[in-house]
Amino acid sequence: MPPPPLSPGPTANAFGYDDDIELIAALRRGDEGAFVWLMKTHNAGLLRYARFFGRDREVAAEVVQETWLGVIRGIGAFEGRSSVKTWIFHILANRGRTRGERESRSVPFSALLAPELDDDQPAVRSDLFLPADAPRWPNHWAVAPQPWNAPEALLLADETQRVIDGAIAALAPVQREVITLRDVVGMDADDVCRMMQISDGNQRVLLHRARSRVRRALDAYLTPEAPA
């Protein structure tokens, strides 16, 4: 069987819901198909994000379940000022924070956003470039990256996905949060800025650093002779 194609992932517009207004109307009507679609679309992303608030999977799963109950209770009053997706992730963040504070076992939000927990390492190790004072080609590749030649099946293989997972887990918390929301969950930049209360410039820098780290981990795995 051929591997599934790399797609950008489901959006609120897929499966016949032209926009959020239509989706909200269906949910308010009690359309169970709409609710199942919503759960299928967002549950995995919610689970990932929930791990910020509880260390073990069980706690994360409970927080997600509470989030869905919050969605069920809140859909009648939802005013549509943000996208449905952002609204759901906001509910999760609020529940998760309450839960984290109660159990005192996860990092409080202010600490997640503390700039000193970020790092400003370059995307690529400095010695892979020629020095700035090199007579020819200063700051160009001294050791150029080698193509991965990785078919999609390899990128999607469990072991490769574990490499990515491990690289994300090793990031500074604030970078991990941005890459989780942007690339794993697939949230828009604007929504991430609102949720994390950071500027667009800050969001871009954090995403860049996070992706650069993940790329390095993949490079080390896919071309083992490459300098990590």
Partner 1 sequence: MNDSEMACRELVELVNDYLGDALPTTGRARFEQHLGDCPGCVTYLDQMRATVAATRRLSEDDLDPRVRDELLTAFRDRPPEGRAEA
Of the pair 110, 120, the CB lying nearest partner 1 is at: 120
DSSP state of 78: -
Shortest Cβ 128–partner 1 spacing (Å): 9
**Residues 129 and 140 sit within 8 Å (Cβ to Cβ):** yes
d(CA 93, CA 201): 22
C-beta closer to partner 1: residue 114 or 150: 150
Distance CA 97, CA 197 (A): 15
Residue with tokens 């992303």: 45
Least spacing, CB of residue 108 vs partner 1, in Å:
25
Residues that bind partner 1 (CB under 8 A): 6, 8-9, 24-25, 28, 30, 32, 35-36, 39-40, 43-45, 47-48, 61, 65, 68-69, 72-73, 75-77, 122-124, 129, 138-141, 144-148, 150, 155-156, 160-161, 164-165, 168, 179, 183-186, 189, 204, 207-208, 211-212, 214-215, 218-219
Residues 6+ positions from 45 with CB-CB distance below 8 Å: 89, 184, 185, 186
CB of 124 to partner 1, least distance (A): 5
For helices 84-103 and 32-50, the axis angle rounded to 10 degrees is 50
Cβ distance to partner 1 smaller for residue 32 or 101: 32
| Closer residue to partner 1 in complex, CB, 69/111 | 69
Say which residues have a Cβ less than 8 Å from residue 131's Cβ, sequence separation at least 6: 138, 139
